[in-house]
Amino acid sequence: MARRMTLLAMGLTLLGAAACGQAAAPGRPLAAAAPVAVAAPAVPHPTPAPRPVTADAATKVAAQVGPFVPNELGEIPILEIHNVASPESRWEITPANLRAIVANLYASGFRPVTFRDVVERRIDIPRGFAPVVLSFDDGDPSQFQWAPGGQGTTPAANSAVGILWNFHLAHPSWAAAASFYVNQNPFGGDSAAKIKWLVAHGFEVGDHTMNHVDMSKLDAAQMLYQVGGLAAWVQNTVPGYHVSTLAYPYGFSRNMPATAWTGSINGQSYHIQGALLVAGNPAPSPYSKAWNPLAVPRIQVADPSTVQRVSDRALVWSAWEPRLLANHGAELYVSDGKPGTVTILPGEQAQLAANVPPASVVVGK
Ligand SMILES: [Zn+2]
């Protein structure tokens, strides 16, 4: 744990300094409020829309058992990806590399969920598999283009969405699940149709502010416009859908106005229940007392040779990947396959969050 905390602190102050490769203020660290309570959403989230029915649901794969021992207090890797393009650089990964990352995760016993699934404690994957979240920031055009002749229906094979969708079609037990954190007018055009397609096919669309701004510097009205405006646009575009998570473009502070989490604008109310940091480590379990839904760490996907500080290179996915994939799940969140129970390892009861119903807890062997 001590090692993890040290790395987390490094990630927050160093990797956070150049979040997303866009106009980051040089040297500005992610506000160093560590994972302690920031602000609680003032209004409970409405009943979430049911997960859309996808092609996968109709052909739900018969219950498989994964390679790991159930441990629902383990950690969850949340990958942070920006552009999908060549050549590989600080904020670009190649289509081939994204395919390889997904294939490695799949073969190693991981299954994708959205960040929303984690926040809402709805990690619904078969027993013995480990959840992973793929998150994509900034709505770059390279994340979602239509295939030639497939306008409105088929994502381009080399776009991020196309890579994930085609992998799902070829491997139905790899769900169509990932979280896309967008700004206004994402994906280089035809934005509304692409947002609708994502939601209709099981993906999450989350909030990255209207203009990719530093939320730690906004007053209440600016926050309403930036966070609420983006959420309202998504919700007006996809009736019945509720934006419930965000990714901080740079950082946050403990004193942000309540409009960061809830408000009403443009005919929509919004309720943010979870928020992602720009760097760090695997995330705590949502059942753990270490879990803070408004400060959840992520692992950046980047070629380590493009990361300026040598010490930061230990924080990127290519450094974490062999450790997480090779340790046979020892520190990972591993599903027990039963949404109604929380299976933990012996002796770890003290790590449970106070609001986990005791009757739902199963101590494994
Ligand atoms: Zn960003």
Task: Give the Å distance between the CA of 117 and the centre of ligand 1.
Answer: 21
- Specify whether the CB–CB gap between 255 and 217 falls below 8 A: no
Looking at residue 283, what is its pLDDT?
97
- Specify whether the CB–CB gap between 95 and 136 falls below 8 A: no
Q: Residue 8: which CATH number?
A: 3.20.20.370
Confidence of residue 327 (pLDDT cuts 50, 70, 90): confident
Looking at residue 310, what is its pLDDT?
78
Task: Give the Å distance between the CA of 323 and the centre of ligand 1.
Answer: 27
Largest CA distance in the chain: 57
Query: Quick check: is 257 in a domain?
Result: yes
Query: Quick check: is 12 in a domain?
Result: yes
- Specify whether the CB–CB gap between 330 and 68 falls below 8 A: no
Query: Quick check: is 88 in a domain?
Result: yes
At 166, list the tokens: 């085609």
- List residues bridging with 78 in a β-sheet: 133
> Using one digit for the tens of pLDDT, what is the confidence trace for 265-309?
999 999 999 999 998 899 999 999 999 999 999 999 988 888 888
Query: Quick check: is 52 in a domain?
Result: no
Residue 9 predicted with pLDDT over 50: no
Task: Give the Å distance between the CA of 102 and the centre of ligand 1.
Answer: 22
CA atoms of 316 and 300, how far apart (whole Å):
5
| Residue 202 CB neighbour total at 10 angstroms | 21
Task: Give the Å distance between the CA of 205 and the centre of ligand 1.
Answer: 14
- CA distance readout (Å), 81 to 13, 41, 126, 292, 301: 19, 27, 26, 22, 6
Task: Give the Å distance between the CA of 336 and the centre of ligand 1.
Answer: 34
> Using one digit for the tens of pLDDT, what is the confidence trace for 155-172?
999 999 999 999 999 999
Task: Give the Å distance between the CA of 133 and the centre of ligand 1.
Answer: 17
Task: Give the Å distance between the CA of 14 and the centre of ligand 1.
Answer: 16
Residue 318 predicted with pLDDT over 50: yes
Task: Give the Å distance between the CA of 84 and the centre of ligand 1.
Answer: 14
Question: Which ranges constitute the DSSP H helices of the chain?
Answer: 2-13, 55-58, 95-108, 115-119, 160-170, 191-200, 220-223, 229-237, 317-326
Residue 179, domain extent: 2-22+67-363
> Using one digit for the tens of pLDDT, what is the confidence trace for 75-90?
999 999 999 998 888 8
Query: Quick check: is 339 in a domain?
Result: yes
Q: What domain count does the chain have?
A: 1
Looking at residue 19, what is its pLDDT?
53
Query: Quick check: is 14 in a domain?
Result: yes
